Structure 1
Amino acid sequence: MLLKEFYKKEWWRYLLGILVLLVVDYIQVIIPQKIGQIFDILNTNSSMDYLKILISSILFLAFGLVLGRFLWRIFIFGSARLFQYKTIDKMFSRIITLDQNFFDKWRTGDLMTRFTSDTQMARRLTGNAVIMLVDTTFMTILTIYKMNQEVSWKLTLVSILPLPFIALVSLILGKLIHKKFIELQESTSDLSNITEESIAGMNVIKVFSNHKTIQKLFEKKAKRNYDAQISLIKVWGFMFPVIMFLGALATILVFRYGGEMVITKQITLGNFIATNQYVGMLVWPMMAFGWLVNIIQRGKTSVKRIEEVLEQKSSIEDPKYISKNFNGVIKIKNLTFKYPETERNVLKNISLDINSGEMVAFVGKIGSGKSTLSKLITKLYKVKNDSIFIDDVDINKLNSKFIRDNIAYVPQDTFLFSMPIKDNIMFSNTDSSKNYKKYTKIANVHEDINALDKGYDTQVGERGVSLSGGQRQRVTIARALAKDSKMIILDDCLSAVDTETEEKIIKNLREEIKNRTILVISHRLKAVKEADKIFVFEDGTIIEQGNHEELINLNGTYYSMYQKQLIEEKLKEE
């Protein structure tokens, strides 16, 4: 389907390229005939004027070859590059529309291989394969026809006898090459994945000083990739020497029988020279046939892998309905949720209300379901109907883009792009260029940025590695604030800053961000004690709710957690 759509749109490019290619092939077949005539003139001492004409015609034909080869490369190879560009763009456009479930299942290394190695092989299928298919077919037919017409049908028949065996060898080994290539692509995906994971987790590797384990794992993947490469090379290494041998055998037959025919005056010396060149020209199509089989086999595999990505669909239904207003009123009724393809319920019968303009906090132990609920509110995963409502509308009836345009979400895992700090902040809203410093002040990171050598123009490393953990978290909060959305979710994104800084940032949010709904997920109770509502999670359920004073008076789980944290703070001060 992918190839069919492309050929349907770009057929005229291929038509022009193929027409030029056919002209080039015809010129190639004419040149040996002209060279043969030159040898006959030299051998018979004929007119030098005719010799000059022949030489001039060869030069003219050679110029035609140069121009023609340039043009068909532009049309056909250019089309193949266009296919690769459009395919990459189409794949990326597809994956950014998919829900979180897709990224949970698909490995980064596997996706990268499909974007690089597979699109390159698909490009060769739409470029090299087209050229070889036309070239081998036309050149073979035209060359044999010319040999038969200009020389001798007997010599033609004898000289081409070994050539069909070249095609046979290619066909037999083509299937094996196809199998080996699939194994190679799979091993390349594994190697890409472990490489990406190792580099991303290098801090963990160094902190635990466990180089041997990761090295052993990497070597295992690299060895598998090496073995797959060698296995494929062995097949290639056997196939092409056999093809070269069969090609050389055809040349030997020309010398054996063609030489005898020259001596017995059945053909001229020029005919013999032309035949030898024709045989050399036939070896290439037969060799190209082997390449063609390989490229088609590998290309088909790569196109299939690409189509697997393009065929992925979001598990979340995304209706076109967009509400006129977003007030940030959240209602959750009897919500039970488990992640796709898992059995354990992460959330169990959750019910709560969040009113517009309120500051609400989710607290509880790690793994109690707090972050999962925040992800569901932003529609990252599919939920049952009539379980989550935004402004009294079922979340399944709202467009995902509408929801995310109005909710600024700061996840636990902070991520910054490899660009200046200013550009990272304005990523969520390019119209905020005049006010971005306002948001960094609210996030309590303005002074830290000014202290850097280049200030807001400081280029951060991959994932913001050149900044400290606390700085990264605060920059991501500034980025979320710059979005100027009606609701802000802070998902335990201040874990790398001290309690006082976290309290200050949340206080700034209450004072500076008016009429916005704020949802804070934190394990530090002191930082959220000013929240209008606090929901205490435990094992996927809400066990307590109320404001700080009400929860303290309950003398339950919240009270115990709060007292424990106060004691820990006092011990640290001592």
Structure 2
Amino acid sequence: MPPDTSSPRRPLLSSNSLWRMRSYLRPYVAKLVFIWLAALLGIGASIALPLVGKEVIDGPVLHGDSGALLPLGLVALGLGVVEAFLIFIRRWSQIGPVLGLETRIRDDLYEHLQRLPMGFHGEWQSGQLLSRATTDLSTIRRFLGFGMLFLVMNILQLSVVTVLLLNMYWPLGLLVAASAVPIIVVSLRFEKRYIKISRQVQDEQGDLATLVEESAIGIRTIKAFGRRHHVYDQYDDAARKVYDTSMDKVRLSARFFTFLEVIPNFTLALVLLLGALAVGGGSLTLGTLVAFTTLMLQLVWPIASLGYILAMAQESMTSADRVMEVMDTVPAIAGGARTVERPRGHLRFEGVEFRFPGADRPVLHDVWLEVRPGETVAVVGATGSGKTTLTSLVPRLIDPTAGRVTIDGHDVRDLTLPALREVVATAFEEPTLFSMSVRENLMLGRPDATEEELDAAIRTAQAMFVYDLPWGLDTRIGEQGLSLSGGQRQRLALARAVLSRPRILVLDDTLSALDVETEALVEEALRHVLREATGIVVAHRASTVLLADKVALLAGGTITHVGRHQELLTDVPEYRELLAQDADLDPSEGALR
């Protein structure tokens, strides 16, 4: 998770974020102009109605001229119909642009998340990202679809009506204008406090979403250890934290909204009192007072709604900043421009070093290793020695901080990412399966695979159990493949990697969850696959080493020995000790099985 998510780490809506938001709005400018025009004409019609009422009262009603009453009545009716029609047009027209804008931002956000490297996803909580892609975008949509339009409309209506009131009867107009001063002062104070507390609520909701997601994914472990009450207490603490902060937010809003309700109504009471005295004194006509009061009533909603709209605006700005916080993150791993024609799969590590950001010492340093086309190398090392980090460098899940990794003489950083990922396929120790059918999971890396190729990959990975599932390959497996055993998930992940027919196949301890009998069958089938590809295999089991043509011993963050299994077993005590921990090794014979 990014540090200090309780408050913004940069000014709300930086210049880059504002530029990006403008770029999202640009395709909808024409429709937005039409919407704004309809809104402005609607305001004009609503303001004109009280002025027509003034003419009715001071004209036909005062003088008893019924003949002049009908035309003015028709004008008032026409203005009412026009206002209602313009409101309908405005609301009908704004649906498409607003929903289209939300969809476009969400698509871009998801696409950008796919471009960001593993380091980014390792630092951020998934719940924080989920809340940005759902709750925050909905908040932005609500403001763009309602709040922004009414904010401008209300400010415009307040300004125009205030000028009209001053023109009608300046003493009462000044009273109305003066009542805006405390509202402006309190609004500015409210805005500063609301920004902070709104961001805090949104970040805490992201933390809560993370707890829910982790509990759902890890439900089997929670139940197995009987930790239901423990995780519930964690959830309850986070939920109460959200509740307490939300209540602080509500109290702040309630005080502000109440203030906005009191000022206009108090001002209206004074206007009626002083206006009645002015009519009695002859300095103000009854029609003018009625029109003044009607226009004054038109200010009650804009002023009362100002709090809601300002709150919505602050939440939207905070949400936009949270979304742009992700969108403005520059991918640390960007593809080059080169492609590999007729790749052979010649893999080299040339003086490679990798250091995690902020770490005191590198995980890997001065790593030199060559894997020739069609050759398989087993990487052996103690737990935590950096084997997974080493293999992650090949498909560029991470990049070395020094040195380089080359394929057929080309630095992998110079290759386009699609070209690189076509050449390299990886099967991980912890396989990831998606909530889709078995077929879709297997064809993730190669959508054009035939049924024969699919069957061959399944048999290579000894994953024939898929044919016994209720709907065979079309059976939908649960999220993370939790309906399958660990060994079944590993075999499906292996089949997926084999199906992509890579020139370089990376196996990160892919057979660790298999029983001995299944492992032997998988290894036998893999030998045929690895003859046609360059292989790099992370080995924890002694039996897995037999898949390789040679072995690389990783110790102290570097490759200390490279050679054939028998040579290392005889000459390198560290290697012998590592393999001796596996039951497959018979130390008295000094060989495997």
User: How many angstroms does 1:516 deviate by?
Assistant: 1.4
SS for the counterpart of 1:260 is helix
Partners of 1:168 and 1:99 in 2: CA distance: 46
Residue 365 of structure 1 is matched in structure 2 by 382
**Is 1:404 equivalent to 2:407 in the alignment?**
no
- 1:282 aligned onto 2:299: yes
| AA matched with 1:26 | G
Measure the CA separation in 1 of the matches of 2:521 and 2:68: 97
Give the counterpart of 1:118 among 116, 120, 136.
Answer: 136
The answer to whether the aligner puts 1:394 opposite 2:411 as a matched pair is yes
Written as runs of structure 1 = structure 2, the 5 A alignment for 1:206-355 is 206-264=223-281, 267-316=284-333, 318-355=335-372
State whether residues 523 and 547 of structure 2, in contact with CA within 8 Å, keep that contact through their aligned partners in structure 1: no
CA–CA distance in structure 1, aligned partners of residues 401 and 180 of structure 2: 66
**Partner SS for 1:377:** coil
1:187 alignment partner, one of 189, 194, 204: 204
> For residue 202 of structure 1, what is the aligned residue in structure 2?
219
Q: Distance in 2 between matches of 1:568 and 1:228?
A: 60
The alignment's TM-score, normalised by the length of structure 1, stands at 0.90
> Is the CA contact 2:148–2:313 (under 8 Å) kept in the aligned structure 1?
no
* 1:108-187 correspondence to structure 2 within 5 Å: 108-148=126-166, 152-187=169-204
81-90 vs 261-270, which moves further: 261-270
Which residue is 1:417 aligned to?
Answer: 434
- Say if 1:259 and 1:78 are closer, same or farther in 2 by CA, change over 3 A: farther
State the Cα deviation string for residues 448-499 of structure 1 (Å, max 9, x = none): 1121111111111111122222221111222222222212111112222212
Deviation at 1:7, TM superposition (A): 4.3
The one-letter code of the counterpart of 1:420 is: S
SS in 2 for 1:430: coil
Q: How many angstroms apart in 1 are the aligned matches of 2:23 and 2:89?
A: 24
Task: For residues 154-191 of structure 1, give each alpha carbon's deviation from its aligned partner in whole angstroms, at most 9, with x where no partner exists.
Answer: 44344554344333322222211122212222322322
SS where residue 359 of structure 2 aligns? Answer: coil
- Structure 1 residue aligned with 2:120, among 102, 109, 130? 102
Alignment of 1:531 onto 2:548: yes
Native 8 Å contact 1:363 1:525 kept in 2: no
Q: CA deviation at 1:217?
A: 2.8
Gaps of 5+ in 2: 1-18, 587-593
Which residue of 540, 550, 566 corresponds with 2:567? 550
Whether contact under 8 Å (1:10, 1:79) holds in the other structure is: yes
Instruction: Supply the distance in 1 between the matched residues of 2:370 and 2:408 (Cα, whole angstroms).
Output: 11
RMSD after superposition: 2.9
Describe the superposition over 1:81-115 as per-residue Cα deviations: whole angstroms up to 9, x where unpaired.
33332222222222222222212222222222322
What is aligned with 1:443? Answer: 461
Distance in 2, matches of 1:38 and 1:121, equals 45
Deviations 1:124-175 (A, max 9, x none): 45444431342123212332344455x5344434455434433332222221
- Aligned counterpart in structure 1 of residue 105 of structure 2, from 76, 87, 90: 87
Name the structure 1 match of 2:11.
none
Shift of 1:77: 5.5
The runs of 5 or more residues in structure 1 that have no matched partner are 570-574
The amino acid across from 2:37 in the alignment is L
CA contact (8 A) 2:351 2:402 kept: no
Partner Cα distance (1:156, 1:537) in 2:
84
Residue aligning to 1:19: 37
| Separation in structure 1 between the aligned mates of residue 71 and residue 547 of structure 2, nearest angstrom | 99
Between the aligned partners of 1:266 and 1:185, the Cα distance in structure 2 is 55
SS in 1 for 2:559: strand
Superposed CA offset, 1:189-233 (max 9, x none) = 322233323332222222222234333333332222222111111
CA contact (8 A) 1:160 1:279 kept: no
Check the 8 A contact 1:159/1:253 in 2, yes or no: no
> Amino acid of the residue matched to residue 84 of structure 1?
E
344-353 or 421-430, larger mean C-alpha shift? 344-353
Secondary structure at the counterpart of residue 444 of structure 2: helix
Contact 1:331 1:351 in 2 (8 A): yes
Give secondary structure in 1 for the equivalent of 2:324.
Answer: helix
Q: Structure 1 residues 240, 386: CA separation in 2 closer, same or farther (over 3 Å shift)? A: closer
Q: SS of the residue aligned with 2:356?
A: coil
What is the aligned partner in structure 2 of residue 379 from structure 1?
396
CA distance in 1, matches of 2:584, 2:390: 30
* Higher mean C-alpha deviation, range 537-546 or range 168-177: 537-546
Contact persistence 1:411–1:490 (CA under 8 A)? yes
Partner residue of 1:572? none
Contact 1:163 1:283 in 2 (8 A): no
| 1:236 positional shift | 0.5
Between 1:83-92 and 1:221-230, the stretch displaced more is: 83-92
Matches within 5 A, 1:54-73: 54-73=72-91
Partner in structure 1 of residue 518 of structure 2: 501
Give CA deviations for 1:534-559 in whole Å, capped at 9, x if unaligned.
22333433344433433444473444
Report the Cα offset of residue 319 of structure 1: 2.2
| SS of the residue 1:503 aligns to | helix
CA distance in 2, matches of 1:476, 1:49: 88
The residue that corresponds to 1:33 in the other structure is 51
SS at match of 1:197: helix
Deviations 1:227-281 (A, max 9, x none): 2111111111101111111111122123212333445565555444333221111
Q: How many angstroms apart in 1 are the aligned matches of 2:71 and 2:495?
A: 79
What is the alpha-carbon distance in structure 2 between the residues aligned to residue 505 and residue 63 of structure 1? 77
Question: Per the alignment, do residues 147 and 210 of structure 1 end up closer, same or farther by CA in structure 2, a change over 3 Å counting?
Answer: same
Shift in alpha-carbon separation, 1:250–1:555, aligned structure 2, 3 A = closer
The equivalent of 2:7 in structure 1 is: none
Amino acid at match of 1:483: S
